[in-house]
């Protein structure tokens, strides 16, 4: 955020007073201020950081640095739920978010979080690049967030401090989930004890025994070093919820059509880069944790897990609009 207010929307007197006090504050930045602050939960070398850095570089190049963007990696600007609030307030200008933290705010994001919905990554991409993405974009816009492109996040699986081979093994185990009602119900349906926690608290919570496990994709399990404390990774692959690269509506409103087109194109290019980096990192992360002695429990038969998910579908895909979207996604090739 700039420290040099230009053309402020408040009265001259107030502006002078604010300047005299050195106040930058949380007020909307002036239209000509183009120093954008970006939020990333992951480290810069994670595929999403690579994608975001490509986005900011391309935007800078194509606007001759009129729009300058800086990504604060590794959750420097706060944890996920706070970052979403900050983006709605316009104090964070762009970000990459997983869609699950929007579950309670934007109903269609529940659909792409639903367990065992996607057959594979290709199916997920066709949904999010098509009907699911359109519906979610509209929902996010209603809460002040403009979706520009979709990032991959692979399949999420359960990892624990004791081996889990069947749903029965999970009974009563405290499993960290993201702050989302769907995720809480999903873990309850597996008879686990869901524990919502910020991503940044999972490592210490595993270490201290506050939780017995969590669930995530290979790259997150590896990059956070959760594998050092939760030594069993069971390939449940229960959700393929994708991610969004988004900008705050407050910024978006002040862009002209040409600038919007530049941002959209740059975001799509960044998604291509992120997806390629993602595919590599999934493989590398798996190799790294296996080399570090993690026990991978291959879940061959996912049917007993999927059957238990019926109450989740009954609750989160019952609404006519959401049910129709589920059907549309299932019908995709
Ligand atoms: C990761 C995702 C993050 C965050 C995290 C979590 O896979 O990329 O945005 O959602 O999972 O579980 O909190």
* Ligand 1 binding pocket mutation candidate from 78, 87, 98, 184 (most atoms within 8 A of CB): 98
Ligand 1 proximity of 98 Cβ (cutoff 6 Å): yes
Question: Which ligand 1 atom is at minimum distance from the Cα of 100?
Answer: 10
Question: Contact at 8 Å (CB) between 211 and 195?
Answer: yes
pLDDT one-digit tens code per residue, 115-128: 999 999 999 999 99
CA distance 133 to 148: 10
Task: Domain 33-105+143-153+242-285: give its CATH code.
Answer: 3.40.190.170
Closest CA to 208 of 229, 223, 187: 229
Output phi, psi for 89, to 5 deg.
-80, -15
Ligand 1 proximity of 109 Cβ (cutoff 6 Å): no
pLDDT over 80 at 29, yes or no: no
Residue ID of nearest Cα to ligand 1 atom 2: 98
Model pLDDT, residue 26: 42
Only one residue has tokens 């944790």, namely 289
pLDDT over 50 at 63, yes or no: yes
pLDDT one-digit tens code per residue, 281-310: 999 999 999 999 999 999 999 999 999 999
| CATH 3.40.190.170 in the chain, residue ranges | 33-105+143-153+242-285, 156-240+289-330
Distance of CA 41 to the CA centre of its chain: 9
pLDDT over 80 at 13, yes or no: no
CB-hemisphere CA count at 13 Å for 157? 28
CA distance 19 to 199: 38
Residue 216 burial class via C-beta count within 10 angstroms: exposed 0-12, middle 13-18, buried 19 and up: buried
Question: Which ligand 1 atom is at minimum distance from the Cα of 48?
Answer: 8
Model pLDDT, residue 6: 36
Q: Provide CB contacts within 8 A for 38, sequence distance 6+.
A: 52, 56, 69, 70, 71, 72, 92, 93, 94, 95
Question: Contact at 8 Å (CB) between 96 and 52?
Answer: yes
Q: Provide CB contacts within 8 A for 229, sequence distance 6+.
A: 161, 203, 206, 207
Residue 30 burial class via C-beta count within 10 angstroms: exposed 0-12, middle 13-18, buried 19 and up: middle
pLDDT over 50 at 31, yes or no: no
**Helices H, strands E: what count in the chain?**
14, 11
Question: Which ligand 1 atom is at minimum distance from the Cα of 198?
Answer: 13
Residue ID of nearest Cα to ligand 1 atom 8: 98
Output phi, psi for 247, to 5 deg.
-125, 160
CA distance 142 to 179: 20
Output DSSP code: residue 298: -
Task: Domain 156-240+289-330: give its CATH code.
Answer: 3.40.190.170
CA distance 154 to 220: 10
Question: Contact at 8 Å (CB) between 39 and 86?
Answer: yes
For residue 83, report the distance from its CA to the centre of ligand 1, in Å: 13
Q: Which pLDDT band, with edges at 50, 70 and 90, does 20 fall under?
A: very low
Ligand 1 proximity of 217 Cβ (cutoff 6 Å): yes
pLDDT over 80 at 34, yes or no: no
């Amino acid at each position: 955020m700039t420290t040099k207010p230009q053309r402020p929307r408040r009265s001259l007197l107030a502006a002078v007073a604010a300047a005299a006090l050195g106040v930058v504050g949380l007020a909307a930045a002036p239209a000509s201020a183009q120093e954008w602050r970006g939020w990333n939960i992951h480290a810069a070398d994670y595929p999403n950081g690579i994608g975001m850095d490509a986005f900011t570089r391309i935007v800078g190049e194509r606007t001759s640095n009129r729009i300058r963007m800086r990504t604060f990696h590794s959750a420097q600007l706060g944890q996920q739920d706070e970052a979403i609030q900050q983006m709605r307030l316009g104090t964070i200008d762009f970000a990459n978010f997983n869609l699950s933290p929007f579950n309670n705010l934007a109903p269609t994001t529940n659909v792409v979080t639903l367990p065992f919905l996607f057959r594979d990554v290709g199916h997920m991409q066709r949904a999010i690049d098509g009907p699911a993405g359109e519906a979610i974009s509209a929902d996010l816009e209603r809460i002040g967030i403009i979706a520009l492109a979709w990032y991959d996040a692979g399949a999420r699986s359960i990892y624990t401090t004791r081996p889990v081979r069947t749903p029965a093994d999970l009974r009563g185990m405290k499993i960290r989930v993201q702050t989302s009602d769907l995720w809480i119900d999903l873990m309850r349906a597996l008879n686990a004890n869901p524990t919502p926690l910020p991503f940044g608290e999972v490592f210490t919570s595993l270490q201290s025994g506050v939780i017995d496990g969590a669930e995530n994709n290979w790259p997150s399990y590896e990059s956070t070093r959760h594998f050092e404390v939760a030594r069993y990774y069971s390939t449940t692959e229960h959700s393929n919820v994708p991610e969004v690269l988004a900008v705050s509506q407050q910024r978006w409103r002040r862009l002209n059509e040409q600038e919007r087109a530049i941002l959209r194109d740059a975001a799509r290019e960044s998604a291509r880069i992120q997806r390629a980096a993602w595919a590599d990192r999934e493989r590398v992360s798996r190799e790294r944790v296996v080399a570090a002695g993690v026990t991978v429990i291959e879940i061959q038969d996912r049917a007993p897990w999927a059957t238990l998910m019926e109450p989740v579908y009954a609750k989160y895909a019952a609404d006519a609009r959401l049910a129709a979207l589920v059907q549309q996604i299932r019908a995709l090739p």
